[in-house]
Amino acid sequence: MQYLFSNYRIKNCNLKNRIVMPGLASFLIEDDGSITDKTVEHYRLRAAGGPAMVIMEACAVSPEGIVSPHQARIYDDRFVEGLHKIATAIKSEGSIPAVQIHHGGRQTSSKVIKQLPVAPSPLPCPTIRGDVKPLATGEIEEIVQKFGDATTRAIEAGFELIEIHGAHGYLVNQFLSRFSNIREDRYGGDIAGRTRFAEEIVKELRNRVGKDFPISFKISAMEFVKDGLDIEESIEILKILQNAGMDVVQVSAGNDATPEWICQPMFMKKACLADFAGEIKKALDVPVMTVGRINDPLIANEIIKNGTADLVCIGRGLLADPEMPKKAIEGRLDDIRTCIACNTCMESIFRRGRIECLVNPALGREKEMAFHLAKTQKKVMVVGAGPGGLNVAWVAARRGHDVHLFEKQTQVGGQLIVGSITNFKKELLNLIRFQKRQIERFGVKCHINHEVTANTLKTQAPDIVILATGSVPSFPPVAGIDKEIVISVNEALNSGQQKIEKAVVIGGGPTGCEVALHLSENGCQVTIVEMLPKIGAPLESITKQLLIRKLKDNNVEIRTGSKLIRVEDNGAVVAGEDDTQVFIEASKVVAAVGSKPDNRLYKQIKSLGYEIHQIGDCLEPRSAKAAIYEGGVLGRSI
């Protein structure tokens, strides 16, 4: 780790290591733009974990540049006090406070800003759609000044580096790219014209901050769309910005049409953007930051060692485990709660209006989920070592309880073990590894390969019983469902060397899609049968988009609006919306229609007088995220 934890200097900023937390939307900002104690605590904890620099999330430089009511703002002096609290909290923990300044341009909604979004050209955002207002020359010059005013406020608030958000399809990126800029005046056309807006912003910032204050620029070096930016153009753009006064560049990718490159799901390789950063580093004379699925300190160390980049940005990794840098430098790699790139953080922002994390239930709830020793130590019996059972066990043990964990299988992990079989979900093994390490660290007594009965409770005599017994597969009530050809998802994933030639997967939800992809990658001819009009509900949108693309690439046949009628010895009969029945030949029919609670033990012991709690699937089938959260809450409360 000597390379990752070596010192570095950018202008007047002395960095104690090479780890930077990039700007990530927290959704912990109030609707009026105010910053609460919860927001400050979020940033303080990330800084306390040991990164050299924490870049506060994108702050809007103008009211029409906001992309969400929960976005941070810096366009008025009234916001300085709250921003100062964040900068002070970051610095108090030994990290350099930085801030990202931003304008959404066309990538917002008139519902949010109460007017038409502004843009370089009359081209709507490809995802939000709707009319936009092309900016006049005078309006562009006013926005440049607003970036300058925002910088003045940022310095007053105590930030020590300013980053211009020039990536991800927002306004500055919109000017840079032919994908979104078809202007024919001095702010369009060739590279020099399209870069002029960004160049003027950099020059304005330099005039405001002086020669020794560092300015960063974040760029989508590859947009992966027709007429979008590529490495060659990005290098030319950055050379112009370097001459204008840019001191460091953060190399990202993607725009509003290619969001999978902005927040990469687990299907994409780790450090997937590092090579782009390496190409830019060779061409420029300023420090380069790389970002993109860097969730492992060992990978980060190699990036620095190889000279691919000067600094590594770890974003979601520090949401999952704020203490990652500290644990890494202490050699406690097994204690790191690794981000699994499930994009729950993104999904929760768009669907729930708050940031959440599958592996870290305390994200966004840091104060209410802080650890406190139990007032009375109790003997706690946890039955079931899946994600929920593991989490409640170590959390309760950390608080001082005497915890006994029972698992009827030969290893812990539950459904996480099955889920990790596919090539694209190996990250789940990291979550199992972390949970097992916490069990060991906090002294949970494990009883593996031990099925619990009512007699077990009488022998153990616990004060509290927590049931995390999970669920069992459901099978649709149709003729032939009991034939040998029908298998569960677990059986399909564990088929191993027994190759399945043709399969019909009944159910096109997340599990059905994943098992279909797994089978197809192993040479199986797969058909998905789904009753809904679309497959993949309720998958996170970026993950769903990539998953469906992979299914199509693997020639998986998808029959939506269809249902299983009956199972034959050599296939399945399904019917579409017009009730026309079709026979699909198959060697296996995989039931992926869900599961039902395994509450058999609860029924046996509920009348025995114990304090009993149920979490996870044994109460109601749900996600691993829900089970881990419930375990975290219960473990902190008993």
Give the residue numbers annotated as catalytic, written as ranges. Answer: 170
The two three-digit tokens of residue 530, written as one number: 């789904």
Query: Looking at the DSSP assignment, which residues form a beta bridge with residue 220?
Result: 252
CA-based nearest residue to 434, from 363, 326, 550, 340: 340
Closest to 412 (Cα-Cα) out of 391, 433, 386: 386
Q: Judging by beta carbons within 10 Å of its beta carbon (0-12, 13-18, 19+), is residue 519 exposed, middle or buried?
A: buried
Q: Radius of gyration (Cα) for the chain, nearest Å?
A: 27
Contact 504, 529 (CB under 8 A): yes
What are φ and ψ of residue 133, in 5° steps?
-110, 115
Which residues, in sequence order, are CB contacts of 355 under 8 Å at separation 6+?
25, 26, 27, 28, 319, 345, 348, 349, 363, 364
Report the C-alpha gap between 320 and 336 in whole angstroms. 9
Q: Phi, psi at residue 583, to the nearest 5°? A: -95, 130
| Cα 537 to chain centroid, rounded | 18
Phi and psi at residue 302, to the nearest 5°: -65, -35
Per-residue H/E/C for 288-351: EEECCCCCCHHHHHHHHHCCCCCEEECCHHHHHCCCHHHHHHCCCHHHCCCCCCCCHHHHHHHH
Contacts of 83 (CB under 8 A, 6+ apart): 35, 56, 59, 72, 74, 99, 153, 154, 157, 158, 159
State both tokens at 593: 């229609």
Instruction: List the structure tokens of 15.
Output: 């960095």
Give the C-alpha separation, 585 to 596, whole Å. Answer: 28
Task: Tell me how far apart the terminal alpha carbons of the chain are, to the nearest angstrom.
Answer: 39
